[in-house]
Amino acid sequence: MTVLRDYYTVKLHDTDSAGILFFANQFKIAHDIYELFLKRIGFGLAERFAGRDFFLPIVHAEADFSQPLTVGDTIEIALSVAEIGRSSFVLEYELTNLDGISVGAARTVHVTTDPATRKKIDLPEGFRKKLEEAKKGSI
Amino acid sequence: MTVLRDYYTVKLHDTDSAGILFFANQFKIAHDIYELFLKRIGFGLAERFAGRDFFLPIVHAEADFSQPLTVGDTIEIALSVAEIGRSSFVLEYELTNLDGISVGAARTVHVTTDPATRKKIDLPEGFRKKLEEAKKGSI
Amino acid sequence: MTVLRDYYTVKLHDTDSAGILFFANQFKIAHDIYELFLKRIGFGLAERFAGRDFFLPIVHAEADFSQPLTVGDTIEIALSVAEIGRSSFVLEYELTNLDGISVGAARTVHVTTDPATRKKIDLPEGFRKKLEEAKKGSI
Amino acid sequence: MTVLRDYYTVKLHDTDSAGILFFANQFKIAHDIYELFLKRIGFGLAERFAGRDFFLPIVHAEADFSQPLTVGDTIEIALSVAEIGRSSFVLEYELTNLDGISVGAARTVHVTTDPATRKKIDLPEGFRKKLEEAKKGSI
């Protein structure tokens, strides 16, 4: 269930000589809405780095590229929380153009770690609660 | 004279291990508002690449970095047209934080070229007219 | 079966404020060796864009991130051709540190397209032949 | 006087839809050889971030773009130490193609700062000494 939507316009620096979005940059676009999501649920990255209470590294990422995107194209990105584990969670991203046609998708698997040791830790309780609400579509 | 303002929030992928905006990415942020500017004056990059009537490569760029910017920082970027030559123009960018403090600046020098030969050509008349209006602050 | 190995040293601009490689940049590193591979088999990207006979867009990409990589880390990347279809092929990338420990992996699925229509076409015969040799480990 | 030379091959992700190197990425390429230079003089970034004794932020950067660079182009980059101040230094970068033709240049102005306060500090003595030797062309 989608919990957050945002728009993104493809920039020149996102594209390459083939005239389309360079595939790796779709992951950047997905991460942008993830950063916005974290901020909205009260766990923004700025606070993560300042407080150093827990980090959220990505251990797996994947994406589909259904339609070529070119400079100036505006797309809608929808984020949903797909799964919540003991020390991990999965986010999904759907990218559609302004005609509502799917142009791509992405999925990122995150774990929670101790910033000092970089070892996995359980999802902090307050953060887990927010993820669970988000999974149901509320933020 | 400022002709266009926009906001930008620093993303994780803009920063580096020193915890601040990687300097080259300030040029990307400047280019983003330039792309918006081109679109607003009716000469968007998508049309440039489709029509292949003229290109606008950057031949010189420079920037000052006055304050470290960190992930989540929102800044205002103001674009102005500083100079218009026969086959070139200069844009300036002022970056301020939300307290109105200058955090950086940039300047890009563009020439107009023939996409096929990549040789310099005079500024097309319609484009020059738009730049001249923009130089006075209207868009 | 590995067909090509290369080394890469993590640059500051690959990392982010968490002090590690930004995940999307692992895809860039994988793509770098893919570009080298194309060149070695006589189908370099420069020729693709000049000749415009066929393009090789990525339709799916995925990666695992096993160990945090930090600025200055040198890794070995090994490329193998995993699958060859009628109009597609799959490449795999293994990333190991200099102690031989796996630090990550990636996989990209490519299709061959007509540059003008961006529609799928069969793998050109000469290219398919090179991929088949590469799948067996020779280049 | 050149103190370090390196080669770089333009990658697909360095280019944009205009078919050439995206200007901001020339700064990344310049920074790559700067990182190599720091390592060679015994002050690698990895040690900077681990030891947190001093940082070297860039306060000004500029570049000229003389010739369009396209994917697969190999260039030579030459680094020299142009100026050494009390708490700052200036590096220059010359980019030439394999025919020895200048294709671009860059210049970065760095200051030394205290990582904790981000305030300017004098160049640490050992570092200054290495810069002075490098200015004369020896490393």
- Give the neighbours of chain B: at least 3 Cβ pairs within 8 Å: A, C, D
Note the pLDDT of residue D125. Answer: 97
Which residue out of C16, C64, C114, C122 is catalytically annotated?
C16
Q: How does the average pLDDT of chain D come out, rounded?
A: 97
Note the pLDDT of residue B59. Answer: 98
Query: Interface of chain C against chain A, CB under 8 Å?
Result: 17-18, 20, 23-25, 27-28, 31, 45, 49, 55, 57-66, 68, 108, 118
Q: How far does Cα C71 stand from its chain's mean position?
A: 21
Rounded CA-CA distance A139/C43 in Å is 49
Tens digits of residue pLDDT in A23-47: 999 999 999 999 999 999 999 999 9
Rounded CA-CA distance A61/C64 in Å is 7
Percent of chain D exceeding pLDDT 70 equals 100
Q: How does the average pLDDT of chain B come out, rounded?
A: 97
Assess whether pLDDT exceeds 90 at residue B52.
no
Tokens of B45: 């990059």
Note the pLDDT of residue B114. Answer: 94
Note the pLDDT of residue B51. Answer: 84
* pLDDT band, residue D52 (cuts 50/70/90): confident
Return the residue matching tokens 């266009």: B4
C12 closest CB neighbour out of D11, D13, D35: D35
Three-state secondary-structure class, residue A27: helix
How far is the alpha carbon of D138 from chain B, nearest alpha carbon, in Å? 27
Helical H runs in chain A? Answer: 23-40, 45-51, 125-135
* pLDDT band, residue A63 (cuts 50/70/90): very high
Assess whether pLDDT exceeds 90 at residue D13.
yes
Instruction: List, in order of start, the domains of chain A with CATH numbers.
Output: 2-135 (3.10.129.10)
Please give the model's pTM, rounded to 2 decimal places.
Answer: 0.97
Note the pLDDT of residue C139. Answer: 86
Determine, for residues D17 and A22 on separate chains, whether the beta-carbon distance falls below 8 Å: no
- Give the neighbours of chain C: at least 3 Cβ pairs within 8 Å: A, B, D
Rounded CA-CA distance B93/B30 in Å is 7
How far is the alpha carbon of A21 from chain B, nearest alpha carbon, in Å? 13
Note the pLDDT of residue D124. Answer: 97
Q: How does the average pLDDT of chain A come out, rounded?
A: 97
Query: Interface of chain D against chain B, CB under 8 Å?
Result: 17-18, 20, 23-25, 27-28, 31, 45, 49, 55, 57-66, 68, 108, 118
In chain B, what residues touch C13 (CB-CB under 8 Å)? 16, 22, 24
The average pLDDT across C14-27 equals: 97
Tens digits of residue pLDDT in B83-134: 999 999 999 999 999 999 999 999 999 999 999 899 999 999 999 999 999 9
The average pLDDT across B34-51 equals: 94
* pLDDT band, residue C51 (cuts 50/70/90): confident
Query: DSSP character for A87?
Result: S
Note the pLDDT of residue D119. Answer: 94
Query: Interface of chain D against chain A, CB under 8 Å?
Result: 12-13, 15-20, 22, 24-25, 70-71
Main-chain dihedrals φ then ψ at residue C109, nearest 5 degrees: -110, 125
Determine, for residues D16 and A15 on separate chains, whether the beta-carbon distance falls below 8 Å: yes
Which residue out of A6, A14, A16, A64 is catalytically annotated?
A16
D70 closest CB neighbour out of C11, C46, C72: C46
Assess whether pLDDT exceeds 90 at residue A139.
no
Determine, for residues C12 and D19 on separate chains, whether the beta-carbon distance falls below 8 Å: no
**Element containing residue D8 per DSSP (H, E):** strand D2-9
Worst-scoring range by mean pLDDT, A53-62, C117-126, D48-57, D95-104? D48-57
Assess whether pLDDT exceeds 90 at residue A5.
yes
* pLDDT band, residue A120 (cuts 50/70/90): very high
Tens digits of residue pLDDT in D57-116: 999 999 999 999 999 999 999 999 999 999 999 999 999 999 999 999 999 999 999 999
Tens digits of residue pLDDT in C90-115: 999 999 999 999 999 999 999 999 99
Closest by Cα among A27, A104, A31, A116 to A73: A104
3-class SS letters over C106-136:
EEEEEECECCCCCCECCCCHHHHHHHHHHHC
Note the pLDDT of residue D98. Answer: 95
Tokens of A101: 């046609």
Rg (C-alpha) for chain C, rounded Å, is 16
B24 closest CB neighbour out of D31, D45, D64: D31
In chain D, what residues touch A16 (CB-CB under 8 Å)? 12-13, 15-17, 71
Rounded CA-CA distance B91/A11 in Å is 18
Note the pLDDT of residue C75. Answer: 98
Assess whether pLDDT exceeds 90 at residue D139.
no
Closest by Cα among B7, B22, B21 to B98: B7
Three-state secondary-structure class, residue A24: helix
Note the pLDDT of residue B139. Answer: 86
Note the pLDDT of residue A86. Answer: 98
Query: DSSP character for A129?
Result: H
The average pLDDT across A3-22 equals: 97
Strand locations in chain B (E): 2-9, 58-65, 74-84, 88-97, 102-111
> Which of B13, B25, B27, B52 should we substitute to test contact with D (largest number of D Cβ atoms within 10 Å)?
B27
Question: Exposed, middle or buried: residue A66 (CB in 10 Å: 0-12, 13-18, 19+)?
Answer: middle
> Which of B16, B27, B49, B73 should we substitute to test contact with C (largest number of C Cβ atoms within 10 Å)?
B16
Determine, for residues D65 and B45 on separate chains, whether the beta-carbon distance falls below 8 Å: no
C70 closest CB neighbour out of D31, D46, D72: D46
